[in-house]
Amino acid sequence: SPYSIDENLWGRSIECGVLEDPWVEPPEDVFSWTKSAAEAPDKPGYVEIGFEQGIPLTIDGKRMGGVSLIRRLNELAGQHGVGRIDHVENRLVGIKSREIYEAPAAVVLLQGHQALEAVTLARDQLRFKQKVAQEYADLVYNGLWFTSLHQDLAAYVQNSQRFVTGTVRLKLFKGSCRVVGRKSPSSLYDFSLATYDKGDEFDQSAAPGFIHIWGLPVRTQAQVQPMDKGLPGSLEKSGG
């Protein structure tokens, strides 16, 4: 093979050969786990993944061990061309490297897990969790698993997943993976508050007071420290 290939349960990474030119489209012989979009089924596939405290445990209602679950998702998603990644990454030493990945299960699980977090974590929790996830990923990528910082971050992640329990439905079709449904006994999504129908329970009369209080610091600062009219965001720049 003209390529350098690393492979494990989680995915395949392919580099070298023609792939070293970031302008060259990866040839089909690079891929082993995933079908091309042209060869993928003409009908979409659906899969439901069940999570308990952030951990995927079921596929279409069938409970499975972690290894079996990942292998099954690699097979299901790969048949629909899901999991191909063409990526230029930044190595620890500062070199940019073009890598091709096949990670069908990883793509599906990541999207499903993020969708479940979106309905079970509060806004501030979710935003901070995303920051921690990036730091965690960088730490592991850089080979710093056996560090105190990793333990600290892992403790936060574990606690953040207490209520990330539920089921996510995903649609697999010709290389795309899309979340089309999610449900959780701990969901913070309240239909009676979110609906735009007449029966909504959100007190619209509270909006003017909230807007007044929310804008108070901005108004106070503007009275003492006028904005630079030449910078973006000023009334003159925005056409106001």
Q: What is the pTM of this model?
A: 0.85
pLDDT tens-place values along the chain, 240 residues long:
899 999 999 999 999 999 999 999 999 999 999 999 999 999 999 999 999 999 999 999 999 999 999 999 999 999 999 999 999 999 989 999 999 999 999 999 999 999 999 999 999 999 999 999 999 999 999 999 999 999 999 999 999 999 999 999 999 999 999 999 999 999 999 877 766 666 666 677 888 998 999 899 988 888 898 878 877 776 655 555
| Phi, psi values for residue 6, rounded to 5° | -115, 140
Instruction: Find all residues with CB under 8 Å of 11, minimum gap 6, and list them.
Output: 33, 83, 101, 102, 103, 104, 105, 106
Helices and strands, counts by H and E, the chain: 8, 9
- Nearest-angstrom CA–CA distance, 65 and 104: 17
| CATH top-level class of 4-121+165-184 | alpha beta
